[in-house]
Amino acid sequence: MRIIVCDNYDLLSKKAAQIIGSQMILEPKSVLGLATGSTPIGMYRNLIKMYEEGLIDFSKITTFNLDEYYQLPIDNDQSYHYFMDENLFNHVNINRENIHIPNGMSDDIEAECTLYEEMIDNNGGIDIQVLGIGNNAHIGFNEPTINFNKGTHIVTLEESTREANARFFNSIDEVPTKAITMGTGSIFKSKKILLLASGKNKAEAIYNTVHGKVTPEVPSSILQFHKDVIIILDKEAASLLNEDDYELMSEFTKTK
């Protein structure tokens, strides 16, 4: 686990984009795992700029998004389909056939989840997965629970998650109660993971991710066992860590 602390959100966003951009330059057919929410918006802005400057090319890139609300039409401006178009896909030369986002409108959700997992595998797995983190340490929409969820599945959102996301809707009543999400297992299978967090309200979740017990009650804690995780934080999100933790390599990484 490598932890990089930046002075502010702008620098965090630039560094994250540079890491994704390097992956794309070194492997133009990369499979990227993408996240929505406020945190990666700055990274997407920087990726668009890098594309406009001719530094990166999306034409052979494949993407898989972490999650989508259940039964929220994709043309709703709060759907994650809509978010990705607005914040990235409409601005770069990605081939639409290579974009994958769970279909929350499917009549057969079980089949949709199985298919999504198969598509990730058939594309050779995810080269680098971008993650945000919930105040409750969720990754994707894997909420604190008693078991780590393996594959893509349907989940009931915690009230605290709905409250946190209500800022994007007119009222909390409009926030869907369910979502489809890649499982903790699907995320863990990614070759590399890039977790981003900004703001004081993420500090406790970050502390628990790095130092806490590995437990499904803190879904992000599983990342302690992954061999290639980069966490980029601003100072507020890092405020409960010690300086010794920065650039920290986990015991697992050291012994590999």
Show the CA angle centred on residue 207, arms to residues 228 and 243, nearest 5°. 80
Asked if 165 is an active-site residue, the reply is no
CA-to-CA distance for 115 and 94, rounded, in angstroms?
22
- Distances in Å between the alpha carbon of 129 and those of 67, 73, 103, 188, 253? 12, 25, 19, 9, 18
Under 8 Å between Cβ of 93 and 100: no
Asked if 136 is an active-site residue, the reply is yes
Only segment of 33-41, 92-100, 108-116, 217-225 that touches ligand F6R (CB under 6 A): 33-41
Q: Does 66 bind ligand F6R (CB under 6 A)?
A: yes
Q: Which residues ranging from 133 to 152 are in contact with ligand F6R (CB under 6 A)? A: 133-134, 138-141
Q: Does 222 bind ligand F6R (CB under 6 A)?
A: no
Only segment of 10-18, 30-38, 214-222, 245-253 that touches ligand F6R (CB under 6 A): 30-38
Provide the minimum distance between the beta carbon of 255 and ligand F6R in the complex, in angstroms, as a whole number: 29
Asked if 143 is an active-site residue, the reply is yes
Question: First CA to last CA across the chain, in angstroms?
Answer: 12
Among residues 46, 65, 67, 68, the one annotated as catalytic is 67
Which of 39, 62 has the CB closer to ligand F6R? 39
- What is the pairing mode between strands 62-65 and 67-69? unpaired
Which residue ranges make up the site for ligand F6R (CB under 6 A)? 35-39, 66-67, 132-134, 138-141
